Amino acid sequence: MKIREFKDKDIPQISKLYFNTVRKINSKDYSREHVETWSPEIYDDSLWSRRFDNYTVLVAEDADMILGFCELQYPGHIDCFYVHYQWQRKGVGTQLLNSVESVAEKNGFKRLFADVSITARPFFSKRGFETVSEINKKYRELTFKLYFMEKYLIA
């Protein structure tokens, strides 16, 4: 497995990965209504392309298969962080997060922070992120329980 910056050709796989992971993994912690609001369809490639203009996007890849992806934005905001539903608990997320931390440190970021799902909270906690607060974030017509988490980087 290697971690690299995304390429436009990755977008169809990323879109399916996002949809399937939310539907099959996050559904353990969120209601059906929440999951369908969060990921109502496999989004058009143009949506991801426009979105990725605002981020550094890293992907975990093995044999041309995207196993995970993460969006990083100045000054250390992690947005989407997803691992393929069939590749959970196999080290993909850890390697991806290690690479995100390296990119952040090279860019002089002092900390990483994210609004983390109930599902992802244990993963981020095990990797040194601390929960600052529980938040209720409105997305479309629903409110989602999330956690604002952060990790200070050693300079």
Is 140 domain-assigned?
no
Is 107 domain-assigned?
yes
Q: Give pLDDT, residue 33.
A: 93
Q: Give pLDDT, residue 40.
A: 82
What is the percent of the chain where pLDDT is above 90? 88
Segments forming the whole domain that contains residue 6: 2-115
Is 126 domain-assigned?
no
Is 120 domain-assigned?
no
CATH number at 73 reads 3.40.630.30
Is 75 domain-assigned?
yes
Q: Give pLDDT, residue 13.
A: 97
Q: Which among 60, 56, 148 has a CA at the least distance from the CA of 106? A: 56
Q: Give pLDDT, residue 155.
A: 58
- 86-113 confidence digits (pLDDT tens): 999 999 999 999 999 999 999 999 999 9
Is 137 domain-assigned?
no
Residues of the chain with pLDDT under 70: 155
- To 10 degrees, the CA torsion angle through 24, 28, 32, 38? -70
Is 155 domain-assigned?
no
Is 60 domain-assigned?
yes
| Helix/strand/coil (H/E/C) assignment for every residue in 80-149 | EEEECHHHCCCCHHHHHHHHHHHHHHHCCCCEEEEEEECCCHHHHHHCCCEEEEEEEEEECCEEEEEEEE
Number of domains in the chain: 1
